Amino acid sequence: MRELSRILLELKKLEPTIHNLFDGLKPEHYDQLVEATKSVANYDTVNDTFDSPTFAMNISTALKQCCDIAIHMVIKNEPSVETASLKTMINLLQSNWRFDVSGRAGNDLNLIKFNKATIVPLATDLRLLKNYLLLKAGEAVNRLARNAADANAYNTLLETVYFRVILLNRKRPGELQRMFLRTYESSEIKSGEYEEFEEVITEVEKLLIKNLKRVVIRVVSEQKGKKTELPVAVNKKKRILTPWPSEQKEAVTFFFNKNIKMKKSPKRKDCEEIKSLYPELLANKDWLKIKVFIQNVYSKKKQISCKI
Per-residue model confidence (pLDDT) at position 141: 92
Q: pLDDT digit string (tens) for 55-92? A: 888 888 888 888 888 888 887 776 677 788 888 888 88
Task: Determine how many CB atoms are found less than 10 A away from the CB of residue 204.
Answer: 8
Residue 280's pLDDT is 87
- Does 191 score more than 50 pLDDT? no
Q: How confident is the model at residue 135 (pLDDT cuts 50, 70, 90)?
A: very high
Q: Is the pLDDT of residue 167 over 80?
A: no
Four-CA torsion 274, 278, 280, 285, nearest 10 degrees: -20
pLDDT of residue 236: 45
Residue 137 has pLDDT above 50, yes or no: yes
Q: What pLDDT does 189 receive?
A: 57
CA distance 212 to 204: 12
Q: What is the model's pLDDT at position 298? A: 81
Does the pLDDT of residue 299 top 60, yes or no? Answer: yes
| pLDDT confidence of residue 174 | 64
CB 44 within 8 A of CB 51: yes
Give which of 222, 230, 131, 128 is closest to 173, Cα–Cα: 230
Confidence grade of residue 301 (pLDDT, cut at 50, 70, 90): low
Q: Which pLDDT tens digit goes with each residue over 30-47?
A: 888 888 888 888 888 888
Summary mean pLDDT of the chain: 78
Report the phi/psi class of residue 217: left, alpha or beta, with left for phi > 0 and alpha for psi in -120 to 50: beta
pLDDT digits (tens, 9 = 90+) for 14-26: 888 888 888 888 8
> What residue segments make up the domains of the chain, in order of their start?
2-115, 120-170, 180-241, 246-307
pLDDT tens string 251-282: 999 999 988 888 888 888 889 999 898 888 88
